[in-house]
Amino acid sequence: METIIKIDVRTMKADIKKMVEEQKFYKDQRKTVKRKGEYKISPSEAAWKHRSNRDQLRLMYAAYGIARGKSLEYVESNHKGDVHPLEEYRDIINDRIDRYKIQVPVETVE
């Protein structure tokens, strides 16, 4: 029995959804006016985590798009020019994709 390497896009998508929920939480916590009771974290810390999480989400969306066979221009189509801005993060995006690689057993037909 042979094995092939695949990218587990379901797990990647679940992790993206979890990060999006964190993003919503940080966005609410960074408001200067109390909305839903007491703050869980300070507004300045929430603003910092929101910014960091936004950058990580951008790279995760790019990794997800590449794992599904899309190009960087397709993933972020709002950039015009010769070199796409995500090209400088290509190593980080490839590392993210490598985290989700799994080996799947395949039966060979003889």
Q: What pLDDT does residue 38 have?
A: 64
- 42-96, pLDDT tens digit by residue? 888 888 999 999 999 999 999 999 999 998 888 888 877 778 888 899 999 999 9
Instruction: Compare 109 and 15 and report the one with higher pLDDT.
Output: 15
State the average pLDDT for the chain.
86
| Chain Cα centroid distance, residue 56 | 6
Which of 14-23, 52-61, 73-82, 98-107 is least confident? 73-82
For residue 23, the one-letter residue type is Q
The values of phi and psi at residue 32, to 5°, are -80, -20
Q: What pLDDT does residue 17 have?
A: 95
Q: What pLDDT does residue 19 have?
A: 94
Q: Is 9 exposed, middle or buried (0-12, 13-18, 19+ CB in 10 A)?
A: middle
